[in-house]
Amino acid sequence: MNQSIYCNPELYIDGKPIEFCSSASIKSSGSGQLETFDANINEPSFENKNLFNKKIEFFLNYGSKDGVPLFRGFITSFKASESSISI
């Protein structure tokens, strides 16, 4: 992820920090619909793990460390390839 002085995003899966997240996005369609979170992870330790229904948290940390995540939910689908995992 692009890191600057003011923004230091953090991604956690099942309480464990993910250090190699290349991109993340949150989509909100409004009108009472659920938000969705998409991320690409280049973390070798997740290569053979089942991530289905694992807890996921995304902190934006814009300006300072956040106490509440910008997104909190559960993984409902993921796709693994040779070099990355898409959630």
Per-residue pLDDT band at 7 (split at 50, 70, 90):
confident
Per-residue pLDDT band at 15 (split at 50, 70, 90):
very high
pTM of the model: 0.83
10-13 and 16-18: which strand pairing?
antiparallel
How does pLDDT run across 20-78, given as a tens digit for each residue? 888 999 998 888 888 899 999 988 777 778 889 999 999 998 888 888 999 999 999 98
Is residue 21 a contact partner of residue 8, using CB atoms and an 8 Å limit? no
